[in-house]
Chains A and B, each alone.
Chain A
Amino acid sequence: DIQLTQSPSFLSGSVGDRVTITCRASQGISSRLAWYQQKPGKAPSLLIYSVPPLQSEAPSRFSGSGSGTEFTLTISSLQPEDFATYYCQQHNSYPLTFGGGTKVEI
């Protein structure tokens, strides 16, 4: 199985901060990595994925990059509605796997 390691697991930030979350895969997955946002009491929502090409369903302040085994999600300017938990997910092969999550708090 492909293991995904997310870092950091917890991130404290302020409105306006630029933050970066990293996701490392245990083996190459080309560009087939997605990012989800989950807020308390809500289901996850798909932010960014690469089919390819890189696709985004998120506001423009969210961006994703990477290929192979190392990927990043960047929020260029944290907004109040961005405080949530973020998960990466590889969609290269079954079994599909997720990273452990990064909780972004104020």
Chain B
Amino acid sequence: QVQLVESGGGVVQPGTSLRLSCAASGFTFSTSVMHWVRRTPGKGLQWVAVISEDGDEKHYADSVRGRFTISRDNSKKMLYFETNSLRPEDTALYYCARDRCFGCRLFDLWGQGTLVTVSS
């Protein structure tokens, strides 16, 4: 079954960290560009990060650059998102998403999301 399953979300205090994970199945993960996209109550959908097939190239939204790190383990078909120095405005449903093709910058497969709530 072609799917992405996220995990690792939770309720945390400002300034703390969470590691989000995304397990891929049913497709060739190692040849797929992968993204993290979040949905916030106030701002709707926001793209946050992308990683190339081999993990060598990464891009981040300005709002998370320097605090969040995207990584992957192709042998395990896993995508990760290390989120540090969390802020209340990072509260969101975090989706991992597959890029439709190299250079497409489109999301053709999404997980169901993992909820991150940052609150004191």
Contact = CB atoms under 8 A, between A and B. Distances in A.
A21 to B, nearest CB: 14
B interface bracket (residues with beta carbon within 8 Å of A): 20 to 34
B105 A46 contact: no
B47 A96 contact: yes
Contacts of A36: 45, 107
Q: A32, A43, A89, A100 — which one has the most chain B CB atoms within 10 A of its CB?
A: A43
B110 A45 contact: yes
A58 B72 CA distance: 31
B106 A91 contact: yes
A97 B40 CA distance: 14
B61 to A, nearest CB: 5
A101 B43 CA distance: 9
A51 interface: yes
B47 A51 contact: no
Interface in A33-60: 34, 36, 42-46, 49, 51, 57
A45 B47 CA distance: 15
Interface string B31-63: 000010000000111110010000000010110
A94 B104 CA distance: 11
Q: A46, A94, A95 — which one has the most chain B CB atoms within 10 A of its CB?
A: A95
Contact of B95 (A1, A32, A43, A98): A43
A52 B29 CA distance: 25
Interface of A: 1, 32, 34, 36, 42-46, 49, 51, 57, 87, 89, 91-92, 94-101
Given A95-B61, A101-B45, 15 more contacts: A1-B62, A43-B112, A45-B110, A49-B104, A51-B104, A91-B106, A92-B105, A94-B50, A96-B47, A96-B50, A97-B47, A98-B44, A98-B45, A98-B47, A100-B43
Interface of B: 35, 43-47, 50, 59, 61-62, 95, 100, 104-108, 110-113
**Lowest 5 CB-CB distances: which A-B pairs, in order?**
A43-B110, A91-B105, A96-B47, A98-B45, A101-B44
